[in-house]
């Protein structure tokens, strides 16, 4: 579904992504690893339309998206869960979620209600806190809310940037369970993560990025591929 061909991305004069290509099939989870500053987040931001590649193409089911603005890309079903504080702090949990489905074209009120109920069933903690402002949630709950929001927006492709950063292990386990459900529902996930062990447990494939290029790719099931990954990113 996702095809990235030979993209180059610059921040001013710095050449961040240097001819990166990657493809993903429906329902596939791809772990993206690498040291800080190698271009992992840049890759996600470029797919989400925050940054425009200077050359190369990105297509979703055959539609070129690399020249589209962020909101159009989001409407094509691409959900970005960025690493920073991820939610709207002054809006309630429910409002944060309903903003997520307002933009899904052609969805009836009843369908939206169902989508909301479905998300609440998956995230009972969010249901409990539905009238609370987003800023009163803990870091882990905020991250859940951000993921729930892209799910409710019917995203087919999720771009998740370091979901476990700074969170307690028990919350991280819950988040990964959610990622697993997303995969089972046929959603494609690109997962940028420092915690390689956790990420590999849900990934089908992985790539290692070094200086803006993919230096190693493999399947998560293969022990020798994993060994090479550790060597490639020198951990």
Partner 1 sequence: MRDAITLQTRAGHWLVALLVLGGLVFAVVGFATGDTFYLRLATEALIFGGLALSVDILLGYTGLLSLGQALYFGLGAYVSALALIAWQSFWAAIGASLAAALVCGLAGGLIANRVRGVYFALITFGMAQVLAKAVYNTRALGASDGLIGVPVLDINLGLFSVSSASPVGFFLFVLAVTVLFYVLAAYLLDTPFGRLLIALKANENRVLFIGYRTSTLRLGSYLVAAVIATLSGALYPMLRGFASPELLFFSTSGNAVITVILGGVGTLVGALYGSVLLTIVKSVVGSWTEHHLIVIGLIFMAVVVLLPKGLMGLVQPALVSVLGRGSRR
Q: Residues in the site for partner 1, rule: CB under 8 A? A: 48-50, 69-71, 74-75, 79-80, 82, 86-92, 94-95, 98-100, 102-104, 131-133, 149-150, 153
CA 8 to chain centroid: 20
Supply 18's token pair.
Answer: 């240097």
Closest separation between CB of residue 222 and partner 1, Å?
Answer: 34
134: tokens are 């987003």
> Between 17 and 81, whose beta carbon lies closer to partner 1?
81
Least spacing, CB of residue 83 vs partner 1, in Å:
12
Task: Report the C-alpha gap between 202 and 43 in whole angstroms.
Answer: 20
In the complex with partner 1, the residue whose CB is nearer, 83 or 204, is 83
Residue 85 to residue 69: CA distance in whole angstroms: 22
Quote the least distance from Cβ 161 to partner 1, whole Å.
11
Sign (positive or negative) of CA dihedral 139, 140, 141, 142 = positive
- Choice between 93 and 229, CB closer to partner 1: 93
Nearest to 196 by CA among 234, 159, 168, 158: 234
Whether the Cβ atoms of residue 167 and residue 175 lie closer than 8 Å to each other: yes
**Closer CB to partner 1, 4 or 44, in the complex:** 44
Task: Kindly state the smallest distance separating residue 14's Cβ from partner 1, in Å.
Answer: 20
Closest approach, Cβ 183 to partner 1, in A, equals 21
Question: The tokens of 6 are what?
Answer: 């030979």
104/215 with CB nearer partner 1: 104
């Amino acid at each position: 579904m996702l095809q990235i061909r030979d993209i180059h991305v610059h921040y001013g004069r710095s050449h961040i992504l240097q001819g990166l290509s990657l493809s993903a099939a429906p329902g596939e989870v791809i772990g993206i690893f690498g040291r800080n500053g190698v271009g992992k987040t840049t890759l996600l931001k470029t797919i989400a339309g925050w940054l425009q590649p200077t050359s190369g193409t990105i297509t979703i089911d055959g539609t070129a998206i690399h020249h589209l603005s962020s909101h159009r890309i989001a409407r094509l079903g691409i959900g970005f869960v960025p690493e920073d504080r991820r939610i709207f702090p002054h809006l309630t949990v429910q409002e944060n979620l309903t903003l997520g489905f307002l933009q899904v074209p052609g969805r009836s009120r009843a369908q939206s209600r169902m989508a909301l109920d479905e998300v609440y069933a998956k995230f009972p903690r969010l249901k409990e806190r539905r009238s609370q402002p987003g800023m009163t949630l803990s870091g882990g709950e905020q991250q859940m809310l951000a993921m729930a929001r892209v799910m409710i927006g019917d995203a087919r492709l999720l771009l998740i940037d370091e979901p476990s950063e700074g969170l307690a292990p028990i919350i991280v386990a819950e988040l990964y369970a959610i990622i697993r459900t997303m995969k089972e529902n046929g959603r494609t996930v690109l997962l940028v993560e420092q915690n390689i062990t956790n990420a590999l447990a849900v990934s089908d494939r992985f790539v290692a990025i070094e200086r803006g290029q993919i230096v190693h790719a493999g399947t998560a099931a293969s022990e020798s591929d994993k060994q090479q990954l550790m060597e490639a990113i020198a951990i």
